[in-house]
Amino acid sequence: MRIELTDEQIKKKDEFKEFVDTSIIPYAKDNDEEENMNPEMLKKVIESKYLGAPLPKEYGGLDWDQITIGLLNEQFGRGCSSAKGLLTVHGMCSLAILKWGSEEQRNLWLPKMAKGEAIGAFALTEPNIGSDAKSVETVASQVDGHYVINGHKKWITMGQIADIIIVFAKLEGKPTAFLVEKGTPGFSVKPMKKLLGSRAAMIAELTFQDCKIPIENIIGFPGGGITHVALSCLDYGRYTVAWGCVGLAEACLTDSLKYARRRKQFDAPLRKNQLIQKMITEMTVDVEAARQLCYKCGYLKDVGDPDSIVDTWIAKYYAAKMVNRVANNAVQIFGGNGCYNEYPIERYLRDARINEIIEGTTQMHEVLIATNSFVRYS
């Protein structure tokens, strides 16, 4: 397995870092406090064409390899978790259309999504349904040559601004995926505020009340919503979340190193304190270990190894737990300043916590990984 980055990947990583430093980080604090994605920042993200990273060039995408996509998400995670969330769900929606959509759907939506002219979202979770995705309560029925959807979705990232949403509903009792456009009659959006972290991720509750969509808006096939569409999307989502955790943890580590150098206690910089050194050591090793797991995932995906699915579970599980350990240590190093929004550390901690829930909770990943291990090592 190749560990080192290619010259092109190194060049891209530097490019991503500069973009995040100049076009993401300056907006991150206000994004969090205002619980809104700054329009100017969103415009810069769209102009960068990064939203087309996973899409083929025939649709106007960048057609980047998985390692490069990972590096992009790492840097966005370092700068703003909410901005990273945009990359994740937009990618999940566009890849669902690419893999499972009809030719007409691909030709209509993918060029727009590659350019950022249409923002995508992924609506699976409901008020009563989270990890048990196959039990979605939203229903769809075929009426007079249309599908009619009724139900609710909750915690939908970018739901407030999405132009096209992959919605999962039961059709004749079988979970199925559909495309629903913004502005469709019977479809309404309610912003969700006062969240713990990722406050600018434009999270929303969606309501479908006799929402009529064209028969052509089915994605994949009846009954394939979870087993085919959702699982392939979630695999991409988990991969990008893992990389985002690495980036967020790196931000915690970098800020902690700077603070420990300049902050003095007992007539000596914090960096001289052995207990602080212990925390810095643990943070450094944690970040590097998670990064290596992500590299392995990206490599396996690029060579088409089916084990990449399991390794994505492992990377997401470890990275999500890791970033919380690192963020906790960062707050401890900053002391009281780590609990005050004059510094970004308290935001890092709140954002970190979200990662053990999204794209599969830590506990669900423990079930998946353990079950696979009993088979793999029996």
State how far the Cα of 83 lies from the Cα of 96, in Å rounded to an integer.
20
Active site residues: 359
Query: Apex CA 357: angle with CA 21 and CA 54, to 5°?
Result: 50
CA 358 and chain centroid, separation: 8
State how far the Cα of 57 lies from the Cα of 242, in Å rounded to an integer.
26
Residue pair 243/81 in contact by the 8 Å Cβ criterion:
no
